[in-house]
RNA sequence: GGCGGGAUGGCAGAGCGGUUUAAUGCGGCGGUCUUGAAAACCGUUGAUGGGGUAACCUAUCCAUAGGUUCGAAUCCUAUUCCCGCCGCCA
């Protein structure tokens, strides 16, 4: 959520900076500014009445204690009864205005950072680095679904029976490889990169979803549990960022780094016919997430470090990738700046997103009310939050199958994973 | 699921219709003492919104949302969460 004062004081600047994003927020901003003006007018009026009431009530109390109430006191109580009615109606109107403001401001996206390229769609994203060389293959590389089905480690048909489309049953070495990847990533981030491991709930309430920005705008992307206020998480970002919702952190403890493995659940509304085969786009997938709470002045350095931590996974697995910075039009709703890591998939013949690393600045912190004090006596201010996939596990498994496939249909196990697979060197 | 108890400031904990601007303790901050520190003593101590150039003024906040009243932390209703006991259960 943006700072209402920033919008009030620099409406044209905000309008300009948001214009390059997807979605039109002109009307929302107009409604917001208009309601904000009404709110302050209404507030002043209600406050004056409350002040009068407080003064009168105190006097009534004092004099009642002294003795029998006189006529003028009874008169005063009558007057205050009327004032109370007026206050009630003003407060009611105020509540409505504040609802209007809240509805509008929750639908306004974050302002892109100055370093973000202006653009309309993914065509305008900018590549910032490329790492690794495709493994030499003296044969036509196959897509991962062919490899996985042939080895008997992935079964999409069976998952379709159990549940439906966009699910997968992992078997044997496939299931083991997925678990190996989760452990490998968690070990790397906890031991080498000093993140604290957490295992959060996989369902969250609507307040948490609002805090990180999934609600109210993107409800159709989520799975909601019937007759409850609970949603399946679309990413660990939601429960982990909300660990500190409504808290004031001690600045001396910042930055805080968390890593979490969770499954992720996405409705994928509007992506019918997209990536229909294989593991790329599933309703359920595993992910190891990195989340940071940092001081504002460090957040862009922290974003670079977060990106490096995620890249490290692919480097150790020796799989080629590139990093792109998303343009203003392609960026997520809550993000100020986002890097995507895209992994090379020889079977599909393209680069595919495997991680998304974002700095949200104070946008989520405002929504979730996450603050810190620089020193114990300082005024609280908002932290900056960041997160990134470190990595999407299902897509990493895809990358291993496609990059490590061999002419005979077997798949070599990357060296760093062999210890996690009881020494297994090849899946055949 | 049933019955009972509870939710108060960073923490602990009193208050149960009117000087409560929420007692007291711990913690934090400042000071005295000390070569320095500790202890002791003294003082101080929250959040959010609004108004004002400012000092400052003001409203709101005792789980959440409503209600009663001139006046609510305190009374009423609903909800959420926590803690017991019973039932069920991985």
Sequence-ordered strand ranges (E) for A228-369: 230-232, 247-250, 256-265, 284-294, 321-325, 337-345, 350-359
Among the candidates A49, A74, A105, a domain finishes at A105
**A79/A210 same-domain check:** no
What token pair was written down for A140? Answer: 């036509």
CATH code for the domain of A372: 3.30.930.10
Asked about A38 being catalytic, the answer comes back as no
Question: Is residue A178, in this structure, part of any structural domain at all?
Answer: yes
A252 touches strand B (CB under 7 A): no
Asked about A281 being catalytic, the answer comes back as yes
Asked about A395 being catalytic, the answer comes back as yes
Distance, angstroms, CA A158 to C1' B24?
Answer: 67
Q: How far is it, in rounded angstroms, from Cα A416 to Cα A418? A: 6
What token pair was written down for A49? Answer: 């009445």
Asked about A179 being catalytic, the answer comes back as no
Asked about A176 being catalytic, the answer comes back as no
The structural domain count of chain A equals 2
pLDDT at A238: 95
Could you identify the residue whose CA is nearest to the C1' atom of nucleotide B71? A57
Helix (H, G, I), strand (E, B) or coil at A68: coil
- Under 8 Å between Cβ of A210 and A250: no
**A68/A147 same-domain check:** no
Distance, angstroms, CA A83 to C1' B58?
Answer: 18
**A11/A63 same-domain check:** yes
Nucleotides of B under 7 A from a protein CB: 10, 18-19, 28-29, 47-51, 58-60, 66-71
pLDDT at A213: 93
pLDDT at A61: 82
**A136/A101 same-domain check:** no
Question: Is residue A197, in this structure, part of any structural domain at all?
Answer: yes
Distance, angstroms, CA A66 to C1' B58?
Answer: 29
A129 touches strand B (CB under 7 A): no
**A147/A290 same-domain check:** yes
Question: Is residue A115, in this structure, part of any structural domain at all?
Answer: no
A84 touches strand B (CB under 7 A): yes
**A39/A172 same-domain check:** no
Helix (H, G, I), strand (E, B) or coil at A38: helix
**A95/A147 same-domain check:** no
Find which nucleotide's C1' atom is closest to A43's CA. Answer: B50
A56 touches strand B (CB under 7 A): yes
Question: Is residue A113, in this structure, part of any structural domain at all?
Answer: no
A67 touches strand B (CB under 7 A): no
Distance, angstroms, CA A140 to C1' B35?
Answer: 82
CATH code for the domain of A97: 1.10.287.40
Q: How far is it, in rounded angstroms, from Cα A16 to Cα A30? A: 14
Range of the domain at A28: 4-105
Residues 6+ positions from A19 with CB-CB distance below 8 Å: none
**A159/A42 same-domain check:** no
* Residue among A38, A281, A322, A373 flagged as catalytic: A281
For chain A, residues with pLDDT lower than 50 are none
- Under 8 Å between Cβ of A49 and A90: yes
**A129/A101 same-domain check:** no
**A98/A195 same-domain check:** no
What percentage of residues in chain A have a pLDDT greater than 70?
99
Question: A394 exposed, middle or buried (CB, 10 Å; 0-12, 13-18, 19+)?
Answer: buried
A248 touches strand B (CB under 7 A): yes
Helix (H, G, I), strand (E, B) or coil at A235: coil
* A278 Rama sector, left if φ>0, alpha if ψ -120 to 50, beta otherwise: left
Distance, angstroms, CA A298 to C1' B90?
Answer: 45
């Amino acid at each position: 959520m943006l700072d209402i004062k920033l919008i009030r004081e620099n409406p044209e600047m905000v309008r300009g900076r948001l214009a390059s994003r997807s979605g039109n927020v002109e009307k929302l901003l107009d409604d917001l500014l208009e309601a904000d003006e009404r709110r302050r007018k209404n507030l002043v009026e209600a406050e004056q009445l409350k002040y009068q009431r407080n003064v009168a009530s105190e006097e009534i109390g004092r004099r009642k204690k002294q003795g029998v109430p006189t006529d003028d006191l009874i008169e005063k109580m009558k007057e205050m009864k009327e004032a109370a009615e007026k206050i009630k109606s003003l407060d009611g109107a105020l509540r409505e205005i504040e609802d209007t403001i809240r509805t509008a401001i929750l639908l306004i996206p974050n302002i892109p950072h100055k370093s973000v390229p202006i653009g309309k769609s993914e065509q305008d994203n900018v590549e910032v680095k490329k790492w690794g060389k495709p493994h030499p293959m003296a044969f036509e590389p196959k897509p991962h679904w062919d490899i996985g089905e042939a080895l008997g480690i992935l079964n999409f048909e069976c998952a379709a029976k159990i549940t439906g489309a966009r699910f997968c049953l992992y078997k044997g070495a496939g299931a083991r490889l997925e678990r190996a990847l989760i452990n490998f990533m968690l070990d790397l981030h906890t031991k080498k990169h000093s993140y604290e491991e957490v295992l959060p709930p996989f369902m969250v309430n609507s307040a948490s979803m609002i805090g990180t920005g999934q609600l109210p705008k993107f409800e159709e992307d989520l799975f909601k549990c019937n007759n409850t206020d609970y949603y399946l998480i679309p990413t660990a970002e939601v429960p982990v960022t909300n660990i500190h919702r409504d808290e004031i952190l001690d600045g001396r403890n910042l930055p805080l780094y968390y890593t979490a493995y969770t499954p992720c659940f996405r409705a994928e509304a509007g992506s019918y016919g997209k990536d229909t085969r294989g593991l790329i786009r599933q309703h359920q997938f595993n992910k190891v997430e990195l989340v940071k709470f940092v001081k504002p002045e460090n957040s862009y350095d922290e974003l670079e470090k977060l990106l490096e931590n995620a890249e490290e996974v692919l480097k150790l697995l020796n799989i080629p990738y590139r990093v792109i910075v998303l343009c203003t039009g392609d960026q997520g709703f809550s993000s100020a700046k986002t890097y995507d890591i895209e992994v090379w998939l020889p079977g599909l013949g393209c680069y595919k997103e495997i991680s998304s690393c974002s700095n949200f600045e104070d946008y989520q912190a405002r929504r979730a009310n996450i603050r810190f004090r620089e020193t114990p006596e300082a005024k609280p201010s908002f932290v900056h939050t960041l997160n990134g996939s470190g990595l999407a596990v299902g897509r990493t498994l895809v990358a291993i199958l496609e990059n490590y496939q061999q002419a005979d249909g077997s798949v070599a196990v990357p060296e760093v994973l062999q210890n996690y697979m009881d020494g297994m060197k090849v899946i055949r």
